[in-house]
Structure 1
Amino acid sequence: MFRRASGLLARSLFLSSSRSWVRPFSTDLPAAPTADSTFVEAWKKVVPNIEPPKTPIAFVKPRPSIPSSIPSKLTVNFVLPYASELSTKEVDMVIIPATTGQMGVLPGHVATIAELKPGVLSVHEGNEVTKYFISSGFAFIHANSYADVVAIEAVPIDQIDPTLVQKGLAEFTQKLSSASTDLEKAEAQIGVDMHSALNSALTG
């Protein structure tokens, strides 16, 4: 019954010429609704006797609206798959290693989505600068002076052992030169790129 209802609903949504299901993308939702009204309305037309399931938007927390003036601080969330490094932390600036180059983010920055490459994430708070080495990820910069940084792996710079970095770089460089298959070359190249970035982070 549920599968049939879902099929009918999908047909109703995608074949209807009177309504568009596509919503414009935005990096700054001023307030997240508790339910997707378009989906709920379409669901009730097809299966009025069954409560509509929740869509992903039902789980989005409301985000503060865009202020009329630029705030003095940037609010940063910095998360990893296994931990939250920073949660709604107010800072002066962050510098992220975007694939297009180092990007400084200040309060009032234009809404942006940036892919991250291996490199240093710097968090500036007054005279204090905290640096993390991150492997990859994405940064979502919102127009309301919020920045969400999502990384696959990260470690404070001061916890990295330079000796192990040099050793790893030498090992992967050797593997790259002796690799005989495309897979071996790709794995070795990833290792070289990562350890080169680590080395630059420590010496730069």
Structure 2
Amino acid sequence: MFASSFPTRTPPQPDHLVRPASASHSNLYLKPLSRFEVMLATEYYALVRYLGVRCFDFLVDMVIVPATTGQMGILPGHVPTIAELKPGLLSVHEGNDVKKYFVSSGFAFVHANSFADIIAVEAVPIEQIDPALVQKGLAEFTQKLSSASTDSEKAEAQIGVDVHSALNSALSG
């Protein structure tokens, strides 16, 4: 197709489109990695970081994210990946310490250099969530869903049920 459209030109090759990697990156895969760096940002924390304050930035052993395709564990040297996050529990493992956050949605970007960016709309430490309020919200949105008459009301109520169900699941597991 390219040759018939441009008979006097050579098609571009991928190596012409990408900058060569630095020498420091070439040794990255020769040594085993035991930890990797992860940055967790929310709309608020990204703004704070932009103003000069660090957001969540960890050197960790593993992160487990609630991807739309299922739970995804990210370890050092993970293949580069982009994953959409669904409401659920995000676990950050640092040695024997595990920090747990509830994320409402977002994306996880895993880079080849053992660095991961996790961008969440909201990320709340799990210990700050009140189980009684979650149960109350779940009951409220379930009732709204059953009494909704328009598609818009049903969609809003279903989102509330989904988020509160994910919160409930994160608290119990």
TM-score by length of 1: 0.68
- Is 1:127 paired with 2:104? no
Please tell me the residue identity of whatever aligns with 1:131. K
- Is 1:164 paired with 2:133? yes
In structure 2, the partner of 1:117 is 86
Residue 83 of structure 1 aligns to a residue whose secondary structure is helix
The Cα of 1:145 is off from its aligned counterpart by: 0.8
Aligned residue pairs total 152
1:50-107 per-position Cα deviation (integer Å, ceiling 9, x unaligned): xxxxxxxxxxxxxx736132321111011111105422x2111000001111111110
- Is 1:193 paired with 2:162? yes
The Cα of 1:143 is off from its aligned counterpart by: 1.4
Name stretches of at least 5 consecutive residues in structure 1 with no aligned partner: 1-16, 32-63
Distance 2:66 2:10 in 1: 41
Greater relative CO (CA pairs within 8 A, separation 6+): 2
In structure 1, the partner of 2:115 is 146
Please tell me the residue identity of whatever aligns with 2:25. S
- Is 1:102 paired with 2:71? yes
TM-score by length of 2: 0.80
Q: Give the number of the structure whose alpha-carbon radius of gyration is greater.
A: 1
- Is 1:92 paired with 2:54? no
Output the aligned Cα RMSD.
2.3
The Cα of 1:20 is off from its aligned counterpart by: 7.8
Distance 1:65 1:187 in 2: 47
1:21-40 equivalence runs, <5 A: 30=21
- Show structure 1 runs of 4+ deviating over 2 A: 17-21
Query: Percent of aligned pairs with the same residue?
Result: 67
Please tell me the residue identity of whatever aligns with 2:87. P
Please tell me the residue identity of whatever aligns with 2:93. H
Distance 1:189 1:133 in 2: 19
